[in-house]
Structure 1
Amino acid sequence: MTNPKGPSATEPPAPGDLEGGLDSLRGDCARMARRWPAPERTASRPVSPSRIHRVAVPERSARLLDGMSDYGD
């Protein structure tokens, strides 16, 4: 199916064009990858249970999550 409002196949989409399609998105990602190289991978160390404390959730966020349906509903 062709988007009549989208750019033609020979015309590259404008920067930031949301109608560019998957190929345009992949090209954008490839160009950005050169600017932001991934950090060197380090081995993660286990965290001592004594360093784990409670998790604080703002009341507003808790109400939002409480109002959402459970996964699989």
Structure 2
Amino acid sequence: MTVSIRQNREDHAITQVCERLRTVFGDRSRSEVDGVVTRVTASFTTARIRDFVPLLVERISRDELSHRFGPVRGLRC
């Protein structure tokens, strides 16, 4: 798989992470949720193994949003 195809898949997966977290944290603004996801994603810029980056971004972002804004009812972590 070429780097550009891999990057496109990762970008798509991160977009889906944003969408899921915006749904879960619906009372928060889009910019708040996307800002957390963007910052967490940036922390993996130098990661050599990229396969699990979207999963890790989602988990870390979800944890941070939960700690910042309080737990979400019915949220399974």
- Greater relative contact order (Cα < 8 A, sep 6+): 2
The TM-score normalised by the length of structure 1 is: 0.28
Select the structure that is richer in helix. 2
The TM-score normalised by the length of structure 2 is: 0.27
